[in-house]
Chains A and B, each alone.
Chain A
Amino acid sequence: MSLADERAIASYARERSQRWQGTKNGLRRWWPYFAMMAPGITYFLVWHYFPIWEAKMAFEQVRIIPPNIWVGLKHFQTLFASPVFYQVLANTLIISTLKIIFVFPVPIIVALLLSEIRGGALRKFIQSAIYLPHFLSWVVIAGIFIALLSPSDGAVNQVIGWFGVRPVSFMTESGTIRWVLVFSEIWRSAGWDSLLYLAAIIAIDPQLYDAAEMDGANRWHKIRDITIPGIVPTIATLFILNMGMFLSADLNQVINLMNDVNRGQIDILDTYVYRLGLKTGEYSLATAAGLFKAVIGMAMIMAAHFVSKRLTGKGVW
């Protein structure tokens, strides 16, 4: 062994021992922080990572007496061969599309209107009222809408009755139930979701408006040329993030507005998984459907995140 080799070995050993020393010091320094994080990290590992492992039953035949048998993609084949699956997939996509078209723009309009209100007290009053539904559960909102849409004494049927329209059973007619989803979502979120747009509008430099006024711009000109361009990044971010959630279509909403009559129209992936798995006990098939949604959903959220990050500098996280 040459001197150089010995030197190299000695230096390697020193480095190793230094690194070990470093870790040891690191441990001495950082263990209290790890102790503090331990409950949280344990929670994430058990509550979020263990289910990922459990999801392997999508590839297994679940048996009452373990172990389960590995069956590969069998359940996915069953799923993709089932007409019901395509029906719920179509429902999910239709409902999400309706919401993007009809729900998404409403808070933007609300924010534009709110920003025109000059009186601070009036604005506060309006905001306090329209933010409220965001904090109610879908069980409550469903209860409110079932009463509101009642064919016998609901407010909506009375109002359309003034125009000579005969009472409609909105909750059970196949042509209306998806619109119930759209309008109840507007009712719930139009106010609260305007908050982010309003914040963006408030952040616009007021000098721009002063200058425009000097040039004789009216309200509409100012909205079109200053306010809307000012909030386009916010609109883009929220739009992309919304697209990322396209396969969700809101389980909590749908499951509370669903009944035996309207099921065919609004049965979505999530309610399908729930019914298949927890009502009929087709655990593997339900997990396969859930995994399908989870994987596509992940791809969409990741895509949304990176597109948004690229375009507007803001991502999902």
Chain B
Amino acid sequence: MAAQAIGRTRLERIEYAIIVSTLLLLVVVTVQPILNLLAISLSDPSRIAGMSGLTIIPNGFSLDVWSLLLQHPNVQRGVFNSIFITAASTVIGVLGTALMAWGMSRPGLPGRRLIFVVVLVTIVFEPGIIPDYFLMRRLGLLDSYWSVILYKAVNAWYLIILIRFFEEIPSELLEAAELDGANPFQVFWTVVLPLARPALATIALFYLVFHWNEFFRAMIYLNDQGKWPLQVVLRQFVVEGDKLAIVGAENATQNIGVAQIHIRALKAGMILLTIAPILLIYPLILKFFTKGTMSGALKG
């Protein structure tokens, strides 16, 4: 380092400055749009109308937008549905994936190759959404939470990551437990799962983020708006521009309640509300995703 510092020329310093500023520009371009929405959502409702898309400072300060959104029945319903669906599918996903990966990681398991092929085929060949839709219909799961909870219940990629992890558990540990008279279920529960805690945490986060962000299946499987997760509520409001979804027809015609808040602020608030849980666990995501992705992908 010292030698480098001495040897550094003016040109090199300029180069370095360009590199750093390019990356900082990327940081600004990434973060500014989100901060702008935050500023709009925290501004005084009467001063939102002409706000620039460039500002990151609220125009006046008010929590009106947030309190209205959080008290809104459709939004509350969406938050509840999202949390319920995400929690259920994450628990089911982690458990199902871990159990299956454990079996598949055992050398000598009869039919091991066949099961691998069964899983890999699903990665390569997806017949499309219409047959999926018909499956749900046939199972009577349309308009049921289960249609969304069980979508990608066991993700083939995460399964492969876990199998690789389980394969590396030293067999002495397992044999020791077996000698103590533990049956395979006990070995799995008392030896394997505790050892796999970091890998399981990674997989759990993968599932959590995936299911929190899922909207398409919820959109096509759930007709009943009362079961919509937040993403679908957000989509109807922001992407399809259905203002009444949040404002409500009665409020809109009489210009009362939510209708008095500028639509931009409501949209901004909704977007941030949908991001909030991701931001909340972002430190964990950074820690586990970075490691998980690198190990999972590089061993490939």
Contacts and interface: CB of A to CB of B under 8 A. Distances in A.
A16 to B, nearest CB: 18
Contact of A278 (B100, B129, B184): B129
A144 interface: yes
Interface string A14-55: 000000000000100010111011011101111111111011
Interface string A122-149: 1001111111110111111011101110
B275 interface: yes
A33 B102 contact: yes
A287 interface: yes
Contacts of A48: 121-122
Contact of B128 (A50, A132, A218, A273): A273
B130 A136 contact: no
B239 A136 contact: no
A190 B134 contact: no
Contacts of B264: 147, 153
B181 interface: no
B238 A37 contact: no
Given A199-B298, A290-B131, A122 B20 contact: yes
Interface residues of B, number: 96
B294 A195 contact: yes
A210 B52 CA distance: 49
A133 B300 contact: no
Given A40-B154, A135-B285, A291 B53 contact: no
Interface string A102-126: 0000000010011011000010011
B127 A294 contact: yes
B34 interface: yes
20 contacts: A41-B118, A50-B135, A51-B132, A51-B134, A51-B135, A57-B131, A110-B23, A125-B27, A135-B282, A138-B213, A139-B231, A146-B239, A147-B271, A196-B293, A196-B298, A277-B133, A289-B128, A297-B126, A317-B160, A317-B300
Interface of A: 26, 30, 32-34, 36-37, 39-41, 43-52, 54-55, 57, 110, 113-114, 116-117, 122, 125-133, 135-140, 142-144, 146-148, 150, 153-159, 187, 190-191, 195-196, 199, 213, 218-219, 237, 251-252, 255-256, 270, 273-274, 277-278, 283, 286-287, 289-291, 293-294, 297-298, 301-302, 314-317
Given A36-B102, A51-B131, A147-B53, 12 more contacts: A37-B100, A47-B151, A51-B135, A54-B131, A55-B127, A110-B26, A130-B23, A135-B282, A139-B238, A155-B33, A286-B130, A317-B300
